[in-house]
Structure 1
Amino acid sequence: MYMLAAERRDHLLGLLAREGKVVAKDVAAELRISEDSVRRDLRDLAAEGLCQRVYGGALPVSPAVADYAARQAVAPDGKRRVAAVAAGLVRPGGALILDGGTTALAVARALPQDLDCTVITHSPTIAAALLEHPRAELFLLGGRVFKHSAVTCGAAAVEAAQNVSADLFLLGVTGVHPEAGLTTGDAEEAAMKRALAARAADTYVLASSEKIGTASRFRVLPWEGVSGLITDADPRDAVVEQLRATGVEILTAG
């Protein structure tokens, strides 16, 4: 089957939309072209931000790699639903590590105004949102500010993280995929998230539906490293069902 380059591109994008992944060797066999040709096409799509290349093929790219201001307009209702469920996990008197990002900001806003708790965060935005919570003790971890997500990261921030502990970490990621795991777009940010997860008894992932089935470049944690996933995605979504079948606890934010 001969296809023009534009037709191959449309075919690959269609596979990503329908099946949630592209396996280069399978496409090469189907179209009777070389795997190198498929890989070149995937490189071109990745350069345009239309897929995330992985070993052997590609996955859908997360829309959550846009800048912080733009991300605030992405799925705000879904983020609020996820935040409401996440806020319910925070117990009076407990200690919470709250990640940065737009979904975590929705969690901060969803916490009861009079909640007596300790919140540890590496996000100045999160800390500012909790200034009006009179009974919440705030600890802000310092370091180099990564402006994309309005968080601190780097060696100083990771070292600060190693000196705290909490009952719960609410983790934000840009990609949630059964095979790629939990991913984000920056290596230092991923390292900071791992450092924070290591300091909490339980880690729950905050993931509004647009992140489900997508991937970014850097892995944060494998599924074995978290306690569960909070999402507003349809429980019958194929990716959600696949995660549940592998034993991941899914908290549905309806």
Structure 2
Amino acid sequence: MLTSQRKSLILDILRRDGQVIAKQVAESLSLSEDTIRRDLREMAADGLLKRVHGGATPISPELPDFSTRKDVSLEGKQRLGAKAAGLIKPGQMIFLDGGTTTAEVVRHLPRSFAFTIVTHSPTIATELEHHPTAEVVLIGGRLYKHSMVATGAVAMAAISQLRPDIFFLGVTAAHPVHGLTTGDFEEAAIKRHISGCAADTYVLLTEDKLDRVSACQILPVSDVSGLIVPSEVTEAQLAPYRDLNAAILEA
């Protein structure tokens, strides 16, 4: 088997199982562990996976600060925002997560009918200052500056009183095995709580977040109503997510 074929197989295993165990791969291919370990080292150097003792796991995305993320994948985020905004109906209560992708939802919100936007992000609330038909409810709490969102007990208590029709959830990574994840424990908890209060949760995913894993799980993919993804994502990459019964909305 060619090196390129082995590496492709390793990536397939990683997507399917969420991890690669060098010994098991070596045995299944009748090769030495040293050969597989060398492949894993090279793939890690190329940014394809993360080396761990005995094998590999999906790579964790970088977490640049909020201002740095604003211009990353902007065109793709705009399409995701427009697709998400198109799901909103008159009179609904919509909870918007913080983040630069959900900010694009704000910029595409309908202006011909009334609805309510709830958010725990002051930056999202500010974006809505001049929107003509959106009632805005801002949740307070301890500010997590990386994502510019309120977290903690105060925010949790306020959110508990609400029953949004749709929660547009932002994440740093999505994986069919490891689920929807983010880099901070408290932020993961608040996102999970909002989703538990909402009738439907949709996740906005730029292509660079697919098949990645961050430190803190929010929810399994099967627990959300749908994923909103760019239209250029391949069917092969989306298939494991479809198998989890998540609706896929392409933008």
TM-score class, shorter: 0.7 to 0.9
Letter aligned with residue 212 of structure 1: L
Letter aligned with residue 33 of structure 2: R
Structure 1 residues 213-238: Cα deviation after superposition (integer angstroms, max 9, x where no partner)? 11111110012321010000535342
CA 1:127/1:115 → structure 2, altered by over 3 Å: closer, same or farther?
farther
Query: Which 4+ residue blocks in structure 1 deviate beyond 6 angstroms?
Result: 11-14, 52-56
Please give the residue correspondences for 1:29-108 in structure 2 after superposition, counting only pairs within 5 Å.
Answer: 30-33=31-34, 51=50, 57-63=56-62, 65-108=63-106
2 CA distance for matches of 1:66 and 1:124? 19
Letter aligned with residue 24 of structure 1: I
> Structure 2 residue aligned with 1:168, among 146, 166, 169?
166
CA 1:178/1:54 → structure 2, altered by over 3 Å: closer, same or farther?
farther
CA 1:54/1:252 → structure 2, altered by over 3 Å: closer, same or farther?
farther
2 CA distance for matches of 1:89 and 1:52? 40
In the superposition, the TM-score normalised over structure 1's length comes to: 0.81
Q: Higher mean Cα deviation, 115-124 or 25-34?
A: 25-34
**How far off its partner does 1:32 sit?**
2.3
Structure 1 residues 194-227: Cα deviation after superposition (integer angstroms, max 9, x where no partner)? 1100111011111111111111111100123210
The corresponding residue for 1:3 is none
SS at the partner of 2:104?
Answer: helix
Please give the residue correspondences for 1:1-254 in structure 2 after superposition, counting only pairs within 5 Å.
Answer: 20=15, 22-25=19-22, 26=24, 30-33=31-34, 51=50, 57-63=56-62, 65-234=63-232, 236-253=234-251
SS at the partner of 1:74?
Answer: coil
The answer (yes or no) to whether the contact 1:177–1:239 under 8 Å persists in 2 is: no
The answer (yes or no) to whether the contact 2:221–2:244 under 8 Å persists in 1 is: no
SS at the partner of 1:166?
Answer: coil
SS at the partner of 2:94?
Answer: strand
In the superposition, the TM-score normalised over structure 2's length comes to: 0.82
SS at the partner of 2:147?
Answer: coil
Letter aligned with residue 59 of structure 1: P
The answer (yes or no) to whether the contact 2:204–2:228 under 8 Å persists in 1 is: yes
Letter aligned with residue 140 of structure 1: L
CA 1:237/1:31 → structure 2, altered by over 3 Å: closer, same or farther?
farther
Instruction: Specify every segment of 5 or more residues in structure 1 that has no aligned partner in the other structure, as ranges.
Output: 1-10
Letter aligned with residue 208 of structure 1: T
1 CA distance for matches of 2:232 and 2:54? 28
SS at the partner of 2:161?
Answer: coil
Identity of aligned residues (%): 41
SS at the partner of 1:198?
Answer: helix
Structure 1 residues 150-191: Cα deviation after superposition (integer angstroms, max 9, x where no partner)? 111122211221111111111011111111111111110000
2 CA distance for matches of 1:31 and 1:101? 45
The answer (yes or no) to whether the contact 2:222–2:245 under 8 Å persists in 1 is: no
The answer (yes or no) to whether the contact 2:77–2:101 under 8 Å persists in 1 is: yes
1 CA distance for matches of 2:52 and 2:144? 24
